[in-house]
Chain A
Amino acid sequence: KQEVTQIPAALSVPEGENLVLNCSFTDSAIYNLQWFRQDPGKGLTSLLLIQSSQREQTSGRLNASLDKSSGRSTLYIAASQPGDSATYLCAVWNSGYALNFGKGTSLLVTP
C-alpha cells in the first residue's frame, strides 16, 4: 500500500523567506501527484498537479517538483506571506482510483 510522508509536520518562518515543503512516497508507480492547501475548518484547494511524465509545475510563487525514481516531491514557496499560512497536503494517484494523502505540513508565516 502506498505510504505518503510529509516532513516537517509543522514549520514557522518569518515573512519574506523562501521555503521548501517535502513529500515522499513509497511506491514510485504513480500516475500523478497533487499539492493542496487547507485553511482551518475548510475544504482542500488544489494548488498544483504534476503528471508522472513531468518534472515540475509552476503557479505564481509556487513551484512543485517531482522525482519519481526517488519517490520525492517538493513544494517551493517564494517570498512567503502571512496569507500563505495554512496546512499543505501532498497526495498521489496510483493505479487505483483514489488519492493517497500525506498528513500535511502546517505552515505559519509570521509578519
Chain B
Amino acid sequence: DVKVTQSSRYLVKRTGEKVFLECVQDMDHENMFWYRQDPGLGLRLIYFSYDVKMKEKGDIPEGYSVSREKKERFSLILESASTNQTSMYLCASSANSWGRNTEAFFGQGTRLTVV
C-alpha cells in the first residue's frame, strides 16, 4: 500500500515562530503537493514539486516556502507563523506517467494552531 506520512497530527505554535511540516512518501512518486483545508474554502494548493529540488507555487504560496532535497520528502515551511495560518495541512503524492499524473494519495493531515 502507498503510504504518505506527515510528521505530526497536531501542532501548536506561537505567532512569529518558524514552523516545519514534514511529509514522506514510500512509493518513489515524482510529484508531491501541499494543500491547506479550511471550512467553507475547501482545499487550496500551496506548493507542489514534480522533481527533486524543483518547486512550483500554487494558489496561495504567500507566507510559505518548501524544500525537496530528496525524492521521498517534501517539507512545508512557515517562515513566521501567523494566526491566519491556523488550518489543516495535507500532503499528497502521485506518480508521473507519460506526462500525466496518476492517482494521488494523501497523508493523514496536520492540524496546526497558531496562538
A residues contacting B by CB (< 8 A) are 31-32, 34, 36, 41-46, 49, 89, 91, 93, 97-99, 101-104
Query: Is residue B27 within 8 Å, beta carbon to beta carbon, of the partner chain?
Result: no
The closest CB in chain B to the CB of A1 belongs to B59
Does A43 lie within 8 Å of B109, measured CB to CB? Answer: yes
Query: Assuming A34-B103, A97-B101, is B109 touching A104 (CB within 8 A)?
Result: no
Residues of chain B with a CB closer than 8 A to A41's CB: 88, 109, 111
B30-54 interface with A by 8 A CB criterion: 31, 33, 35, 40-43, 45, 48, 50
Q: Smallest distance from the beta carbon of B9 to chain A beta carbons, Å?
A: 9
CA distance A44 to B43 in the complex (A): 11
Does A99 lie within 8 Å of B42, measured CB to CB? Answer: no
Does B111 lie within 8 Å of A43, measured CB to CB? Answer: no
11 further interface pairs, Cβ-Cβ under 8 Å (given A44-B90, A44-B106, A99-B92): A32-B100, A32-B101, A41-B111, A43-B6, A43-B108, A44-B92, A46-B103, A91-B104, A98-B58, A101-B35, A101-B42
6 A-B pairs (CB sep. < 8 Å): A46-B105, A46-B106, A49-B103, A93-B101, A99-B92, A99-B104
Does A49 lie within 8 Å of B102, measured CB to CB? Answer: yes
